[in-house]
Amino acid sequence: GAVVSQHPSWVICKSGTSVKIECRSLDFQATTMFWYRQFPKQSLMLMATSNEGSKATYEQGVEKDKFLINHASLTLSTLTVTSAHPEDSSFYICSAGTSGTNEQFFGPGTRLTVL
């Protein structure tokens, strides 16, 4: 149980284009989803927290207009990197949690490369 998927697993795009990454909880309802960014050989940095049906809460320093997060249902959250630039190249990982628990279940990650 508690499986989280991400799609795509990797994506290459041109500078200036937008990229959408999907995060799905496959066998449970995720009241909260989290988006992380991980640079090579570094730890995970929380970008934002999203609750189903409400606006995401962004961490300090994360541009909300650049990283659009939508949590339209209890099983799906999307992260859209708008007008991507090479410095946005990174490994993006989502996780999902349910109310009343202290555990997050992580997706396999999406490798974004912006040329």
Partner 1 sequence: AQSVTQLDSQVPVFEEAPVELRCNYSSSVSVYLFWYVQYPNQGLQLLLKYLSGSTLVKGINGFEAEFNKSQTSFHLRKPSVHISDTAEYFCAVNTGFQKLVFGTGTRLLVSP
- Indicate whether 106 belongs to the interface with partner 1 (CB under 8 A): yes
Any residues with CB less than 8 A from the CB of 73 and at least 6 apart, and which? 52
**Could you say which residues in the range 71-100 bind partner 1, by CB under 8 A?**
91, 93, 95, 97
- Indicate whether 102 belongs to the interface with partner 1 (CB under 8 A): yes
Give, as one character, the DSSP assignment of residue 66. T
- Indicate whether 103 belongs to the interface with partner 1 (CB under 8 A): yes
Among residues 44, 62, 68, 76, the one that binds partner 1 under rule CB under 8 A? 44
- Indicate whether 7 belongs to the interface with partner 1 (CB under 8 A): no
Among residues 80, 82, 89, 104, the one that binds partner 1 under rule CB under 8 A? 104
Query: Phi and psi (nearest 5°) for 87?
Result: -70, -10
Query: Phi and psi (nearest 5°) for 56?
Result: -75, 150
69 contacts 79 by C-beta, under 8 angstroms: yes
